[in-house]
């Protein structure tokens, strides 16, 4: 399906969100327009501002409106700054759960000219995003975390065959268009039933992808191996909490958390959302690095283009990433990368490259 008009929902979020999201939107709009695609970018109420205006960080009208959009661009939220009754569930989790965005894809690759601990890292972490120990999304009713007494805290971890199967399929499919290698990350020597089921189902799915090489690692060993020989790994597939932790490690190895992009997807929807948080310590000062947000939108365009077999979108996504690389190469960098550029200056240069 090729369409010349796209409707894209924009949720700016908190902290640095209103600074980095508009930069990514302007750049993506330019990349799309250059390929004959007109995008309408609809900013919807979300986050701390929506608590003030609508009484909820994710108002019902936002959820309803999101359903009518082609894809979503979501900024970070700072729920710790919300009034206590609005702190959980986190707004991002509400959207992930509502649309069953079960796959969180987090690449880690160094950008030329940015100092990196592991300049040769080129990884994709495929993180199961709907269950595990994440109490904000692993129950239909109630919370997966509870306290029978003030001194006893319990958490329920959820692992289902169906969720393992679908995330494993996404990982093996992704490996086919990369270096053809998947590492299943678990802790089945201790969490034998839960992460054991995750490992077993992933290995079953592997049999359907004989062209992809599969191996497995315990999560603690994986953390060490990522530091020791990061270039040896291609796609890692893992459960929710392990994926969250390993992807921050991989992001730092590749340069900085401020570079770490991600998309969350179901089989039919995609949401661009950078890995970093709202960074309240630098918010409002035009200091934030917009690269993670721009690359997240680039990855969402590529996902959407592949799904709808529209090469203009995949090309727009590739052009966005290339313009990030070119801007950094031209010496335009924000403070986190040792530069002096402001967020807005980075955005302006990027658009001129595009």
Tell me which residues touch ligand ATP (CB under 6 A): 16, 20, 76, 257-258, 276-279, 281-282, 288-289, 292, 336
10/292 with CB nearer ligand ATP:
292
Catalytic site residue from 46, 82, 102, 134: 134
Give catalytic status of residue 281 as yes or no: no
Instruction: Enter the tokens of residue 139.
Output: 């129950």
Cβ proximity to ligand ATP: between 20 and 182 the closer is 20
Q: How far is the CB of 214 from ligand ATP (least distance, A)?
A: 30
Which residue bears the tokens 């721009």?
Answer: 294
Nearest residue to ligand ATP by CB is: 277
Which DSSP string corresponds to 292-325? HHHHHHHHHHHHHHHHTT-HHHHHHHHHHHHHHH
187 an active-site residue? yes
Nearest approach in angstroms of CB 275 to ligand ATP is 7
Burial of residue 66 (number of CB atoms within 10 Å: 0-12, 13-18, 19+): buried
| CB nearer ligand ATP, residue 292 or residue 316 | 292
Residue of 244, 289, 310, 336 with catalytic role: 244
Taking the complex as a whole, the smallest distance from the CB of residue 189 to ligand ATP amounts, in Å, to 29
Active site residue 220: yes
Does residue 297 contact residue 28 with C-beta atoms inside 8 Å?
yes
Q: Least distance to ligand ATP from the beta carbon of 11, Å?
A: 15
What DSSP state is assigned to residue 158? B
Q: How far is the CB of 48 from ligand ATP (least distance, A)?
A: 13
Tokens standing for residue 245: 């932790």
Alpha carbons 44 and 63: distance in angstroms, whole number: 9
Got the DSSP string for 52-107? Answer: HHHSSSS-HHHHHHHTTSSEEEE----GGGS-GGGSSS-HHHHHHHHTT--EEEEE
> Smallest distance from the beta carbon of 257 to ligand ATP, in angstroms?
5
* 127: phi then psi, degrees, rounded to nearest 5: -105, 125
Instruction: Reply yes or no on whether 286 is catalytic.
Output: no
By the 10 Å C-beta count (0-12 exposed, 13-18 middle, 19+ buried), 240 is classed as buried
Nearer to ligand ATP, 6 or 21 (CB): 21
Residue whose C-alpha is closest to residue 315's, from 10, 42, 22, 33: 33
Give dist(CA 154, CA 13) in Å, integer.
Answer: 31
Residue 134 designated active-site: yes
User: Measured from the CB atom, is 16 or 222 closer to ligand ATP?
Assistant: 16
**4, 215, 220, 309: the active-site residue:** 220
* DSSP β-bridge partners for residue 125: 106, 236
Structure tokens at 316: 């727009």
Nearer to ligand ATP, 182 or 275 (CB): 275
What gap in Å lies between CA 77 and CA 80, rounded to an integer? 9
Catalytic residue numbers, as ranges: 134, 187, 220, 244, 248
């Amino acid at each position: 399906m090729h369409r010349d008009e796209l409707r894209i929902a924009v949720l700016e979020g908190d902290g640095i969100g209103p600074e980095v999201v508009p930069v990514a939107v302007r750049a993506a709009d330019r990349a799309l327009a250059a390929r004959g695609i007109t995008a309408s970018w609809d900013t919807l109420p979300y986050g701390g501002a929506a608590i003030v205006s609508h009484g909820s960080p994710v108002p019902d009208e936002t959820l309803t409106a999101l359903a009518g959009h082609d894809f979503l661009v979501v900024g970070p939220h700072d729920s710790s700054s919300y009034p206590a009754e609005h702190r959980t569930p986190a707004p991002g989790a509400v959207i992930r759960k509502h649309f069953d965005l079960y796959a969180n894809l987090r690449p880690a690759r160094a950008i030329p000219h940015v100092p990196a601990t592991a300049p040769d890292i080129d990884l994709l972490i495929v993180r199961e995003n709907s269950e595990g120990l994440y109490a904000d999304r692993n129950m239909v009713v109630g919370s997966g975390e509870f306290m029978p007494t003030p001194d006893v805290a319990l958490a329920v971890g959820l692992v289902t065959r169906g969720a393992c199967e679908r995330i494993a399929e996404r990982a093996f499919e992704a490996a086919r268009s990369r270096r053809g290698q998947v590492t299943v990350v678990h802790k089945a020597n201790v969490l034998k039933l839960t992460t054991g089921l995750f490992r077993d189902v992933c290995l079953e799915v592997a049999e359907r992808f004989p062209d992809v090489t599969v191996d497995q690692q315990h999560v603690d060993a994986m953390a060490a191996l990522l530091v020791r020989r990061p270039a040896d790994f291609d796609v890692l597939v893992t459960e929710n909490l392990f994926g969250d932790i390993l992807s921050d490690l991989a992001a730092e190895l590749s340069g900085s958390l401020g570079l770490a992009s991600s998309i969350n997807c179901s089989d039919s929807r995609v949401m661009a959302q950078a890995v970093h948080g709202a960074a309240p310590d630098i918010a409002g000062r035009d200091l934030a690095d917009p690269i993670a947000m721009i690359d997240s939108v680039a990855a969402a365009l590529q996902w959407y283009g592949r799904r709808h077999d529209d090469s203009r979108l995949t090309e727009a996504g590739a052009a966005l990433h290339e313009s990030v690389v070119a801007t950094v190469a031209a010496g335009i960098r924000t403070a986190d990368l040792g530069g002096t550029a402001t967020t807005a200056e980075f955005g302006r240069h990027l658009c001129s490259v595009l």
